[in-house]
Amino acid sequence: MKRFLLICFILPSIFAFSQTKDRNTLAVITPKTFGYVNGIRLDSIDAAYGQIETRWETIAFDYGQLGGRNKMTVADDKGAALTFARTSLTFLLNFFYFNGWELSQSYHDSSGKSEVFILKKRTLQKEM
C-alpha cells in the first residue's frame, strides 16, 4: 500500500515539470520602442530597403540577410521576440519610422493572400 501511495504522489509530480516554459516576450504598446534583428538595431542596419512579414503577433524584417525566420524576427536588445499588441498597419509603420525606416511601396503577393510592405531606410537630415 505504501508503494502505491508513493507512486500516486510521484507520478503527477513528474508531469508537472514537463510543461514548456513560458517565453519572456515584451509586448510593444508604444511605437517608440527600439527593435533589433539578429542583434542589430533596426536603425543601424546597413541596407537601403527591407521587407515586413507578419505572422501571428511577431514581425519579421527581411533586409537580405541569410538565415531563417529566427534571424529575421524583430526582437528586443536581449534577443527576446517582440510581441506587438496592435498589428495594425499604422502602428507598424509608426514603429518602423521611429526605428529609421519609411514605407516605399506595398503590393499583394502572387497568391493574393498576403500583402508585402517594402520599407526604405530614412536619411536623417541634420538640423542647422
Q: For 92-121, write each residue's pLDDT tens digit.
A: 889 899 999 999 998 877 776 667 789 999
| Residue 36 is assigned to a structural domain of this protein | yes
| pLDDT at 122 > cutoff 50 | yes
Cα 55 from Cα 90, distance rounded (Å): 16
pLDDT at 89 (0 to 100): 80
Residue 13 lies in a domain: no
Quote the cell numbers at residue 44: 543601424
* Domain count for the chain: 1
**Tens of pLDDT, residues 15-63:** 555 444 444 556 777 788 898 998 899 999 999 999 987 766 678 889 9
Q: Does residue 100 lie within any of the structural domains?
A: yes
Rounded Cα distance, 81 and 104, in Å: 25
Asked if the structure places residue 7 within a domain, the reply is no
Domain range enclosing 46: 23-121
Task: Give exposure, 68-94, as e/b (b: 16+ Cβ within 10 Å).
Answer: eeeebbbbbeeeebbbbeeeeeebbbe
The 3-state DSSP class for residue 119 equals strand
Residue 37 lies in a domain: yes
Q: Confirm whether 12 is domain-assigned.
A: no
Does 40 reside within a domain?
yes
Give the alpha-carbon dihedral of 87, 92, 93, 94, to 10 degrees. 110
The SS3 call for residue 1 is coil
Instruction: Please give the pLDDT value at position 16.
Output: 57
**pLDDT tens per residue across span 62-98:** 998 887 767 888 888 888 888 877 667 888 889 899 9
Q: What is the predicted pLDDT for the residue at 88?
A: 78
Q: Give residue 36's pLDDT.
A: 92
The per-residue pLDDT for 98 is 93
Q: Is 2 part of any domain?
A: no
How many beta carbons lie within 10 A of that of residue 100, not counting itself? 18
